[in-house]
Amino acid sequence: MELFIQHLYRHENPVYRQNNVPQAAIDFLETHVNSQLRRVDLYNMLCKEGLIDPTFIRKAQVNFWIFELLRRAYVKDMNNQLHSVKLVLEEPSMRSPTHPYSGEEAHNVFSCIDLAFEPTGPITEGGICPSRLKKPIIRFFSKHYDLNPLVPTHEGVYLSMEQVHSVATNEAYSWCKERNLSHLWAYLWNEWYRLDRWALFSRAAKPILCFGKTTYIIESHWRGQKYDYNYSFNRPRLDKLVHIIASRVLADKAIAFVQYDTSWEQPLWWLSYRT
C-alpha cells in the first residue's frame, strides 16, 4: 500500500516531477537533449551514468525536464505573420512585391481602389516604407489580423466575413494613399489583402474562433516524430515515413490513449511480476 501511495504521488504531483530530479541529471539532459536520442534512451543513459536512481526517479519526471529544456531552447515568434511584415519592411533584400501589382484587379474587387494609384519609379533607398511609419503599419495590421465576424466592433456591430475583409482592405489602402506609399500598398495587396492571401492569415477568413494555431500544432507533431521515431533518418523517404507512422506512431498513440482514458500508468515495481 505504501508503494502504491508513493507511485500515485509521484505520478500525479507536477511539483514532484520538477523538483526531485538532481541538478546533475538536468545538466546531462541539457547537453544531450538535441542529440536525436529517444526519451527512453536518455532515461537509460541517466541510470547507467548513476545520475538518477530508477527506484525513485520515474520516466515521467525525466520527460518533464526533456520537454522543459526543449521549450526553453525553442524560441518562436508567436505572431509569425506580423514578423513576416516586419522582415519585408526592414530587410533591404525584400523591398519589392513578389508579384506585379494589378490596379485593375484590385479595383474589380474593391471599387474604392483608384486605378491610377500604382507603383511608379524605383523603390527608394529606405525601402517600401519609411522607418517612422513601420510601427503604425504593424499596429493596424495586428488589428486586422484579430478581426472576426463573431467579435463585435466598438460600436457593437457584427460584420460578416466579406465586410471584415472590405473594411480592413479599405483602411490599409486609405492609409497608404494618404501618404503616397504606392509600393507599400502594392506589397500589402499582393501578399496580404488579396482574397486568396487574406484567407491564409486572417482570423476573419472563417466563421469560427480558432483557439489553436495550426502552424504550431503541425510543427509540434512533426518535431515529436523527429526526436522520438525518426532520429536515425534525417530525411526519410515517403514510404519509410509512412511505415514508421503506421507501425510505431499509431501503436504508441493507442497505448497513450488507453492510459489517458483510464488515468493510470503502471508503477515500475510492477515490471518485476512480468519476469
**Tens-digit pLDDT profile for residues 121-161:** 777 666 777 778 888 888 888 888 878 888 888 788 888 88
Q: Which helix (H) or strand (E) holds 48?
A: helix 39-48
CA distances from 61 to 1, 12, 247, 272 (A): 22, 11, 27, 21
> pLDDT digit string (tens) for 167-190?
999 999 999 889 888 888 888 888
pLDDT of residue 174: 92
Model pLDDT, residue 126: 65
DSSP SS3 for 172: helix
CA distance 270 to 275: 10
The single-letter code of the amino acid at 178 is: E
pLDDT value of position 9: 47
Give the pLDDT confidence score for residue 4 in this predicted structure.
45
C-alpha span between 50 and 28 (Å, rounded): 11
pTM for the whole thing? 0.47
The residues of the chain scoring below 70 in pLDDT are: 1-19, 34-36, 72-99, 124-126, 209-217, 260-275
